[in-house]
Amino acid sequence: LSIRNFKAILSLDLPNLDNVVVIAGANGSGKSCIFDAIRLLKATHGGFANAQEWQRYFSEFQINFEKRDERARLMNDATAPVIISAQFTLASSEIDYIRANAKRIILDDMTSAKLREERINPNLADAPFLANVQRELEASAAQQAIEVCKTLGDPYQLSELKIDTNY
């Protein structure tokens, strides 16, 4: 995990984290900022990169991201960008789970995205309609699952988020 210029954190590198991590420090030292940074990175990545989670994050901190001065409140130094990145390696049990379930996970995600795109509430869609949508997406999901499984075991870069005041 690497965090630069985020809230109380000027620069933090936490390499080779294990399964259990303890964050300790005095009040106001930036412990919560570490978790806020991870949550912000998560909100912008992969299946979690949806407008609702992104907006929920900023509204919780009462930040209008469209306003430069409010966005600058995320920064330790308002003249430099925020950079948050994380790299992780999956455990063998996680790799086994993904290999066994990749197609279903991807198909479910693709189906949800398609329903959102068409503004259809998945709770109100009938089973035959959902089955038809999944049949349409199945070949693409299978191909994506093959590609995902090829990369398993390699260190995986979980996005790098950069927030700048200069836009």
Q: What is the pLDDT of residues 74-85, one digit of tens each?
A: 888 888 899 999
Terminal Cα-to-Cα distance of the chain (whole angstroms): 26
Lowest-confidence pick of 74-83, 112-121, 149-158: 149-158
Percent pLDDT > 70 in the chain is 91
Above 90 in pLDDT, residue 2?
A: yes
Q: What is the pTM of this model?
A: 0.68
Q: What is the pLDDT of residue 155?
A: 63
Lowest-confidence pick of 58-67, 74-83, 138-147: 58-67
Q: Is 124 exposed, middle or buried (0-12, 13-18, 19+ CB in 10 A)?
A: exposed
Q: What is the pLDDT of residue 163?
A: 80
Above 90 in pLDDT, residue 141?
A: yes
Q: What is the pLDDT of residue 151?
A: 83
Reduced to 3 states, what is the DSSP secondary structure of residue 48?
helix
C-alpha 73/C-alpha 165 separation (Å) is 10
CA angle (73 as vertex; 71, 76 as ends), nearest 5: 120
Enclosing H/E stretch for 52:
helix 51-60
Lowest-confidence pick of 8-12, 62-66, 104-108: 62-66
Q: What is the pLDDT of residue 32?
A: 92
Q: What is the pLDDT of residue 29?
A: 86
C-alpha 132/C-alpha 129 separation (Å) is 5
Q: Is 90 or 100 the better-scoring residue by pLDDT?
A: 100
Q: What is the pLDDT of residue 49?
A: 47
Lowest-confidence pick of 67-71, 103-107, 113-117, 132-136: 67-71
